Structure 1
């Protein structure tokens, strides 16, 4: 009897992807020009990772607040949360980036200066100027606002997917609202929302390239500057694409592995 060495679901696409990544990496490391391009672009890689990690963490926190607000029994709170989600989701990320950077940030600075008037008169703080808010901070804030609306919808759907019977059982056991959320609702919702949240994280890695329009020195901006000075456009943007692919594919594979682990732990 013939023995099958591989199952029909063996991920040949992953093998091909790894081989292509290794081959491309070998070409980049052995070519002098490409190696120099990689060295220059790696300076912006830390900024890309910082922007993505900070913005996604902020989007998770704000999105959770909006999701809980949307489920509030108070109509004013729930309608305000719904309005926030619909407005933010209806504006392109690039437009939101420009608006927060050049309109929202000055407004926030003016509001802060007004609120801090007593502290400023007491000599405890100085007046904040718009130029004191870096373009990097404005870009991160824009991504937080843009993605919090999508995260809020994902979390809301995950919370509502928890069977009502389990929530009622937790109430019968005498658990408070915060305990029910932390011990019953959140662990089950995580299994539901993990795949779409992972997709949003991958999308944020790619959308983080938009911060380059503000001059933030991420991978895309460093590639733009280097290609303009060296006229090595094909080599530079090929390396830029390679770096983004490494980040997004690694995140996707990590999220799938975590999802399988959570599914197995839920079945055991």
Structure 2
């Protein structure tokens, strides 16, 4: 019944917005109603899956046996899609990781050029508690990126022996939108309706922007965020039951 109701509501919404003489204010009102309808019916935000390939891991790789400086049964986790590609239209995107309890005091982040050389490397002090951490890529650095580039984030378990690092890697890609996609985003405002914005960004596979909208939803409507965040984590293969209550500890810059 919920699915049928959702489809009916969605068709009404699309049909209504299709009339050329409908005012912008009316469309914005309909968008708000649509977003709250989705929240009330439990039709949750999910990030679109990548094309079917071997599923890469969002969790720690690297480090030799016996070198683990992570305590507990939750590893270092990158908050990224299942294909490990963080797509964005932003000039200074953020990358998020779940930091478990660890004896490491510092981490190291490296963003690579297309030829594999280092474009940006930064050592970062780590908080003493577990939770979500993030790093903002400086605009001056990201403006040099063309297409898709690799990044690596490492817990420095032993500064005297970097072979003991616990590392995780992914890709960062700045993308361009076509005219129709830009038009769709033109009617969306995170401040006015964070859930609708998150859904719109997710449909365009814009990871950074989806997370940004979810952060706004967390502050504005925490009860809705809790449910949506759980479903969102599950949609990208992350252990939501272990991460749902993890605090956001802030930017490492």
TM-score normalised by length of structure 2: 0.26
Structure 1 or 2: more strand by fraction: 2
| Bigger Rg, structure 1 or 2 | 1
Structure 1 or 2: more helix by fraction: 1
Larger RCO of the pair (alpha carbons < 8 Å, separation 6+): 1
